[in-house]
Amino acid sequence: MSVFRLYSGRDRYRRLIRAALRQLQRWYRCGKETLMSRRAAAAGMSEAAALAALQAAAPRQRWEGAMALGRHPQRSPEAITALIEVLADPEPFVRWKAAAALARQDVGRVFPALAATLVEGRPLQRAGAATALGQIGAEAATAALSKQTADPDPEVRQAVARALGQIADPTTEDVLMPLLDDPDVAVRCAAAWALGQIASPTAAAPLAAALARPDQPLLARRALTAALTRAGHPDAQPALLAALADPDPQVRGYAARALGHVGDETAYEALAALLADRTPLLKGTVGDEAAAARAMLERRGRRSVPAGHPSPGGNLA
């Protein structure tokens, strides 16, 4: 291939890329303008119009109606009832907007309805009620959610776990830990995320035990190691050392980061094997995580625990 053809091909490629970027910018501007106009329309929508929009055939109109109802915290009982009904909408975005609108209502007006729906509603409604209660927070919401971790529907259990994680009340650890053994993987992931949000060292042993299970699927391993970066304890080190050899780079990266917080000299040496791992992560590489973890261990001056002595953080068993 001649030099002229080579540069002509490169120029053609650059022109195509520039044209594609310009088209993307036009689409972005158009979408942004459309979204802003819809938000403006929802802001001026009356309650009656918003209630009518909730019954529309188009999902866009339904979520605009839910969004409009969420702009005022003193909606009528009819509006609250309608929003709870919309929690069972077939479109996830509509359900999300309805839960957000309910969470913005005055707590005294909406809490009794959400608490009742969490127990007696249809599965999607129960899940939506859990989402709204997680956004509301406070002791009463925590108590209501804690009673529903054994809901027969896995989507509800997942929503309850995520809501408890959003509240991050340390007293809910005991009701979240059994969900690490839930038969549904999404529920296990939500429970791990919630325990990571609470970030209590007492959760490290159950998280590590769940991570060590040989049948643990990929998404659960990622969630568990991510949680251990926040809820760390030296007793989790054996499971984290094993996770350094996981086939998934995210699991290896999370395990390295967690060991930087709780590892000892054994972890420092094990992390050396990952320094050459250039598998990319969302930010940096696995090797970068290993190097950062070793640097943290050096700053902390951790050494291996003498035989017969308890680990520095005590025994979690």
DSSP 247-272: SSHHHHHHHHHHHHHH--HHHHHHHH
Q: Right CATH number for 172-305 from 1.10.3720.10, 1.25.10.10, 1.10.3660.10, 2.115.10.20?
A: 1.25.10.10
Q: Is the pLDDT of residue 309 over 90?
A: no
What pLDDT was estimated at residue 264?
Answer: 94
CB 231 within 8 A of CB 203: yes
Residue 59 class from Cβ within 10 Å (0-12 exposed, 13-18 middle, 19+ buried)?
middle
Lowest mean pLDDT among 7-21, 53-67, 196-210: 7-21
Nearest CA-CA partner of 263 in 221, 208, 218, 213: 208
Phi, psi angle pair for 199, to nearest 5°: 60, 45
The domain limits of the chain are 48-145, 172-305
Same fold, 48-145 and 172-305: yes
Question: Across residues 87-108, what is the average pLDDT?
Answer: 97
| Predicted TM-score (pTM) above 0.85 | no
Q: What number does CATH give the domain 48-145?
A: 1.25.10.10
Residue 285: beta bridge partners? 280
Residue 60 class from Cβ within 10 Å (0-12 exposed, 13-18 middle, 19+ buried)?
middle
Q: Which amino acid is at 59?
A: P
pLDDT digits (tens, 9 = 90+) for 130-163: 999 999 999 999 999 999 999 999 999 999 999 9
Nearest CA-CA partner of 86 in 61, 66, 56, 106: 66
Helix or strand or coil: residue 317? coil
What is the DSSP track for 153-167?
SHHHHHHHHHHHHHH
The span from the CA of 21 to the CA of 25, in Å, is 6
pLDDT digits (tens, 9 = 90+) for 11-23: 666 777 777 787 7
Please tell me which residue, 275 or 13, carries the higher pLDDT value: 275
Band of residue 307 on the pLDDT scale cut at 50, 70, 90? very low
How many residues appear in the chain?
317
